[in-house]
Amino acid sequence: QVQLVESGGDRVQPGGSLRLSCAASGLSLSYYTIGWFRQSPGKWREGVATIINSDGKTYYRDSVKGRFTISRDSAMNMMYLQMNSLKSEDTGLYFCAVDITGRATGLESLEYDYWGQGTQVTVSS
């Protein structure tokens, strides 16, 4: 019943921008901690950005600070990741996720319960 669907992934040249979207159904994103994660072949899934529901704080991994922005549109039940100044190391499969229990305090993927299928971002010249 709960479903998260990402969109917006594409191939882009270094320095370019993309805006990823995540559409949620079966739950309201306004009530929960939400996050974006990514994974590339042979690497662990890593947290990119999150909004903690309890206090509204945002967290970003160091490598994307100043370039990426996570946001939420409660009325539309959507979450977004604006990615600017993209680098080749940003390449990966990007997932949106929701912590339904309220346990998440940051970028730890194991603390999130619902996941989308992912959308591919490829940064290459």
pLDDT, tens digit (0-9, with 9 covering 90-100), for 53-84: 999 999 999 999 999 999 999 999 999 999 99
Nearby residues of 2 by Cβ (< 8 Å), 6 or more positions away: 24, 25, 26, 27, 98, 100, 114
Please answer whether residues 10 and 121 qualify as being in contact, where contact means their C-beta atoms are separated by less than 8 angstroms: yes
Q: Give the pLDDT score at 105.
A: 94
Across residues 21-50, what is the average pLDDT? 96
Written as six digits, the tokens of 54 are: 């309890």
Written as six digits, the tokens of 12 are: 């882009």
Q: What is the rounded (10 degree) CA torsion for 51, 21, 31, 25?
A: -160
Tell me: pLDDT of 93 over 90.
yes
Give the separation between CA 26 and CA 96, rounded to whole angstroms. Answer: 15
Tell me: pLDDT of 41 over 90.
no
Q: Give the pLDDT score at 116.
A: 98
Give the three-state DSSP class for 19. strand
Q: How many CB atoms lie within 10 A of CB 50?
A: 26
Give the residue ranges of DSSP H helices in the chain. none
